[in-house]
Chains A and B, each alone.
Chain A
Amino acid sequence: MNYRIQMAGLLTVLAALLTVESAHAVDPAVLAAQQKRIDVVAKVAPSVCAIFPPGGGGGGSGVIISPDGYALTNFHVTRGAGIFMKCGLNDGIMYDAVIVGIDPTGDVALIKLLGRNDFPSAPMGDSDKLKVGDWSYAMGNPFLLATDFQPTVTYGIISGVHRYQYPAGTFLEYTDCIQVDTSINPGNSGGPLFNDDGELVGINGRGSFEKRGRVNSGAGYAISINQIKYFMGHLRSGRVVDHATLGATVATEADGSVVVGSILEESEAYRRGLRIDDEIVAFAGRPVRSVNQFKNILGIYPKGWKLPLVYRHEGEAQRVLVRLRALHRKSEITPKKKGGPRPQPPGKKPGDKKPGDKKPDGKKPVPIPGHPMVKKPAVPEKYKHMHIPKEGFANYYFNQLEQERTLKGLKQLGDFSSATGPWVLSGKTDRGLDYELAIADAGIGMNLGPRSFLQELDGADPIDEPPGSGGLLFAMHHLKLLLTSGGKNFTEFYYLGTEPFDGGSEQVDVIVAVLTGAESRWYFNPKNGALLGFDTRLADDADECEIRFGKLVEFEGRKLPSELKVSRGGEAYVTLKIEQATLTESPKKNDKK
């Protein structure tokens, strides 16, 4: 008996010692890791926002990426919130925010918080560097728990990278996305995924749910930040942006190779020689080994980007640059007017469930009782001017801002506004031929060596003149219009966004101008604003006339490129060296002279 008590006493002492011992024996590495987590959360939490519709009810998350207040979230969060929304930061303050651009296919929206120029912003990381097993933080407002807008933090690992998740309906396709076991729940939508160093690597958007209800079941998905980087210029344009297709479908062969199963004859890929049964070797610089991989690569690029494609045709590898086609028709991605029914994917009834069905396909999280639901005016008077509706745009106001910024670059060339009379450019071609190019209101004429070419205006259709150039004469008409009157005389004129230039890795600013069915893309160096060249295509499915500028030389107080390199379908057509340029002032002035 006595012995037993002694034993019990000894055990108690032992237990006490063990506790003391273990309290002191915490591995310094564990403490350091804990401190790092605390530091990372403290550093990035101020950039995380809780997004609410102006009238309350539901909500999602977002993350600020620039001091002037641009923030990323999910399209499906903004779709429920409207044009102006409220964003709570962890300083406890609710800010107004306005929609900028949307990507319904990629489920991304860019918004802008208003009222400050020193917002805390999250640094961007490189999502391609993530490895399975890396730690990650998801932050946001799951279940709308934070009444003080302090973000909820969940912590987990990367479960998979370069994942492909089928569209929920016709949109919300997650390509090349990041899979995490970090808890992602309703309300987390649109919030940031951070890597272990607190760099923004993704936007959390959905999860795999089946039988356990719409809560985390161990598989959450984030849109990679690298995809969003490709779309950033487009999103800042205020447009409804679209994803791309090659114009061909691919299938996996028994030997594992990926081959073309069908191809649109109107596609640029077809014009560059791609045919059925050709093997896709690499795309956008990444090797293609499976259909999903091909979809992954394709899915992260905006419509209209020109990307390198390597394919094998009859045993021979071909390397070409291909401009990608739109994935959707314009009417498919333009959001319906307010009050109209939400677009339902064809063949899918509301409430349809399928295995692996994904989180919020636009459904607002259930409003949680006890949260303030104060009715406020939907449009703050102060910021009313910051939304301009226009078809094809989420907010045309931001397109105007980007147009102004980009067109400033034209000022380097001088003032062409009075030079609306005929222009005559002349000199020699790279092959030593004499040429003379006259651009007037009635038409554009060109003498090239012994031959003459004419593009009539005044209602005439744009034609491929000189033949095989892709429409050089009509392109020069566009150039004159841009230089003399900016966007005024085009039927459509807008800032497109950014895209790589001639297969390089640097992105340039792009302005699009449309006139009588012909479309020009103007490329500006984003650093110094210089106009680098332009592409003009006469019809949707025609190869472009590509014109690149040489260094600038001065002609009578105005600057023009010393040479115009003209090519089509990637092949050089002619280089025009401008030796003389006569730009006549407006006809009226001429008459007076």
Chain B
Amino acid sequence: MKIIFVARMLLAVAMLTAAPRMLAAQSAGETIKSVMPRMVKIFGAGGIRQLHAYGTGTLVSAEGHIITVWSHVLDTDEVTVVLANGRRLEAKVLGAEPQLDLAVIKLQEDDLDLPFFDLANATSASPGTRILGFSNMFKVATGDEPVSVLHGVISARTRLTARRGAYQVPYDGDVYVVDAITNNPGAGGGIITSVDGKLLGMIGKELRNAESNTWINYAVPIPEIRKVVGEIISGQYVREEKSDEEDNPERYNPFDFGLVMIPDVLYRTPAYITSVVPNTAADEAGIQPDDLIVFANDELIQSNRMLKRELGRLEGGDTLRIIVKRGATLVTLEFPVQKKPGS
């Protein structure tokens, strides 16, 4: 008797959950049609070595606010955004939160009335949900061509533990892990939606799983970034500076390798080398005075301060790869990081 009752209950529940799904179902084709005008292609800095100069963005306001990943692509005065209809517009970085790998950029054009995603309407979904991924991976689309669409399923919702190069990624909040290969070059800043078109998450940078070293395909749930996006747009956002201790362990400094940098007098003093101490690692690797350090282990070095921070994170046994600008050429130099005595 009891069992029959339970069965009835279950049947009712099943019907209830099935019914709205059938009513609300927007087809994948309709979803693609409605999402495409809200996606933009971003072109900025990069283009050398393995650094792509393109990315993806998603419109979150009619006036042209766009969310994307915080990356080297935005590290330029001129970020170009190409709308779905092929229109090219300039954009400025409005604000960024490196902890979330998030940036908000704004189109430099008045009187825009663009289709956009209202982040307030973004929802969350559980594993098993079928999704569509939208991004301009591999820069396949140019001009008015629509971005690429992938399909897949949410495999898990879990905390992110990932590495980028040798470094732990600062974001360790929730992500959707998906079975589609969403996180390709230039895909960061794209989105995943449910098949019926509900915004779920923003596709992040290319990252590797910190434990298995395999590439992961993930998206940051919109609720994780919604508040910060809102604050950046309204101009109220104040970055919480993490203590220097955590961010910069200062394990090494340039002098440990024999590098004498020019005095750090400006906010962004270029990382020029004044001299190299003979018979040091830097000397043996062939670094020369007047070299300008532009990359350290694939991180763009914009200032002395950044170089210090990058070197500070090294550990004994790592390999330090430096790219210097010497005259008009880029020279790549590599040397092992020796264990510090006493450490």
Contacts and interface: CB of A to CB of B under 8 A. Distances in A.
B181 A160 contact: no
Nearest to A18: B10
A133 B28 contact: yes
Nearest to B147: A160
A394 to B, nearest CB: 31
A252 interface: yes
Interface stretch (A38-46, A86-94, A208-216): A208-216
Given A21-B14, A131-B29, A290 B142 contact: yes
Contact of A208 (B18, B28, B184): B184
B143 A132 contact: no
Interface in A283-302: 289-293
B148 A219 contact: yes
B11 A21 contact: yes
A132 B132 CA distance: 11
A-B pairs, 3 with minimum CB distance: A218-B181, A290-B143, A208-B138
Interface residues of A, number: 40
B151 A157 contact: yes
Given A216-B181, A218-B184, A355-B52, A292 B140 contact: no
Interface string B200-240: 00000010000000010000000000000000000000000
Given A160-B140, A219-B148, 4 more contacts: A132-B29, A165-B140, A219-B137, A290-B144
A22 B10 CA distance: 10
Contacts of B140: 160, 163, 165, 179, 208, 219
B6 A132 contact: no
A210 B185 contact: yes
B9 to A, nearest CB: 10
A181 B181 contact: yes
A131 B31 CA distance: 13
B10 A160 contact: no
A145 interface: no
A219 B145 CA distance: 16
Contact of A355 (B141, B150, B185): B185
A219 B147 CA distance: 12
Contact of B148 (A27, A162, A179): A179
Nearest to B36: A132
B166 interface: no
Contact of B149 (A157, A164, A355): A157
B150 A181 contact: yes
Nearest to A20: B7
14 contacts: A14-B10, A17-B6, A17-B7, A27-B18, A132-B29, A133-B32, A157-B149, A160-B141, A164-B142, A179-B140, A181-B150, A219-B148, A290-B144, A355-B50
A395 B86 CA distance: 45
Contacts of A179: 140, 148
B182 interface: yes
Contacts of A293: 143
B145 to A, nearest CB: 7
Contacts of B150: 157, 159, 181, 218
A133 B3 CA distance: 44
Interface in B262-294: none
Taking residues whose C-beta sits less than 8 angstroms from the other chain, chain B's interface range is: 35 or more
B43 to A, nearest CB: 14
A160 B149 contact: yes
Interface in B19-71: 28-29, 31-32, 50, 52
B189 interface: no
A547 B56 CA distance: 55
Nearest to A134: B29
Interface of A: 13-14, 17-18, 21-22, 25, 27, 131-134, 156-160, 162-165, 179, 181, 208, 210-212, 216-219, 252, 256, 289-293, 355-356
A162 B151 CA distance: 19
A294 to B, nearest CB: 11
B180 interface: yes
Given A21-B10, A355-B50, A289 B143 contact: yes
A217 B10 contact: no
Contacts of B3: 13, 17
B181 A217 contact: yes
Interface in B65-96: 86-87
A163 B145 contact: yes
Interface centre among B18, B31, B139, B151 (most CB of A within 10 A): B151
A202 to B, nearest CB: 16
B188 interface: no
Contacts of A252: 143
Nearest to B52: A355
B10 A13 contact: no
Nearest to A291: B143
A217 B132 CA distance: 16
A296 to B, nearest CB: 10
B180 A181 contact: yes
A252 B87 CA distance: 12
B148 A159 contact: yes
Contact of A160 (B14, B31, B52, B148): B148
A160 B206 contact: no
Nearest to A354: B50
A210 B144 contact: no
Interface in B148-163: 148-151
Contacts of A133: 28-29, 31-32, 132, 149
B254 to A, nearest CB: 30
Contacts of B32: 132-133
Given A17-B10, A181-B151, A289 B144 contact: yes
B138 A210 contact: yes
B150 to A, nearest CB: 4
Contacts of A157: 28, 149-151
